[in-house]
């Protein structure tokens, strides 16, 4: 039986011949790039308890907090970080904090302002990782969306040279958009965050990132169905946590279905960022570190998608640009 969840994930720097030689950012070229493998997500966490949830997560053992400007709760997340660090007797450098640049701040001046406001809201001096949330630029004047990302990325590259940014990356890019960005910039994204779960395994896309040396962070690891994304009413998906195969594996291994999903995600090299608002669920998800699955278990989870058509619960970037 293999152990599938080391505490940190190390990714060696890599460049792909098909894209030429690129000057990879420092955390990758320094031979080892480390990011905690299980993070705490903050999307849709209510302002009324997000501070307590983030603090509880840090006290539980999470060392990676994922947030974003558009989530509308970064001030509260910042309070939770400060409280959690104090109660766990930790320093800022002991945790990893990720945030994201929203679509309506892609213009250079606005991007600089967005970074400064993010740091103020979170009450920290630097970000470990700043992601471009979508490859979509929204006009501040008209509100119209356009698939455009190179100018914003070049601004992020410049900001990456400052002490305020340790790493930069992207989120929700398609394969063609990712290739285009790499071909027209000097920095390969350190991380790409997008939707991955047993109903949407994205195996080929993950392999593509391994070739590029880009770390993948998987959001929605439980294939959560959210009411703001309308699915086909006549063909609703079965909840992943209620899938019969997931339930069977969980029962056999003494784990929960959520823990099985997280172990599966980590076994594929992804950083996973489950979210929860209740302390018991925060702790339960973190205890995925103790859940051990066999190769056969993981192969069984791989086959879960065979009985459920590939299901993307979050709309593609070019048609959406919503907050995830």
Show which residues are catalytic: 71
Give the other-Cβ count within 10 Å of 218's Cβ. 26
Tokens encoding 279: 């302390």
Beta bridge partners of 66: 41, 98
**Using CA atoms, how far apart are residues 33 and 11, in angstroms rounded to an integer?**
5
Handedness of CA 227, 173, 268, 276 (dihedral sign): negative
- E strand or H helix at 65, and its extent? strand 64-66
* Max CA separation in the chain (angstroms): 57
Residue count of the chain:
324
**Using CA atoms, how far apart are residues 293 and 301, in angstroms rounded to an integer?**
10
């Amino acid at each position: 039986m293999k152990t599938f969840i080391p505490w940190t994930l190390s990714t060696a720097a890599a460049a792909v011949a098909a894209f030429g030689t690129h000057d990879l950012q420092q955390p990758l070229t320094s031979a080892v790039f480390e990011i905690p493998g299980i993070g705490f997500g903050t999307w849709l966490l209510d302002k009324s308890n997000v501070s307590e949830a983030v603090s509880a997560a840090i006290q539980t053992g999470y060392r990676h907090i994922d947030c974003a400007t558009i989530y509308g709760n970064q001030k509260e997340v910042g309070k939770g970080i400060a409280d959690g660090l104090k109660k766990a007797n930790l320093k800022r450098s002991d945790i990893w904090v990720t945030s994201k640049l929203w679509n309506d701040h892609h213009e250079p001046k606005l991007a600089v302002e967005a970074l400064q406001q993010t740091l103020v809201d979170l009450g920290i001096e630097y970000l470990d990782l700043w992601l471009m949330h979508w490859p979509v630029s929204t006009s501040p004047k008209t509100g119209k969306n356009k698939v455009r990302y190179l100018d914003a990325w070049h601004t992020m590259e410049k900001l990456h040279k400052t002490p305020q940014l340790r790493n930069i990356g992207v989120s929700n890019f398609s394969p063609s958009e990712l290739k285009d960005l790499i071909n027209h910039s000097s920095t390969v994204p350190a991380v790409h965050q997008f939707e991955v779960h047993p109903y949407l395994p994205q195996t080929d896309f993950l392999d593509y990132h391994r070739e590029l040396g880009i770390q993948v962070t998987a959001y929605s690891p439980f294939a959560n169905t959210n009411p703001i994304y309308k699915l086909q009413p006549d063909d609703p998906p079965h909840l992943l946590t209620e899938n019969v195969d997931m339930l069977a594996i969980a029962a056999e291994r003494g784990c929960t279905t959520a823990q099985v999903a997280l172990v599966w995600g980590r076994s594929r090299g992804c950083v996973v960022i489950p979210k929860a608002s209740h302390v018991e669920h925060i702790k339960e998800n973190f205890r995925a570190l103790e859940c051990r699955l066999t190769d056969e278990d993981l192969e069984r989870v791989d086959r879960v998608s065979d009985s459920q058509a590939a299901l993307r619960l979050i709309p593609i970037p070019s048609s959406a640009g919503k907050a995830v």
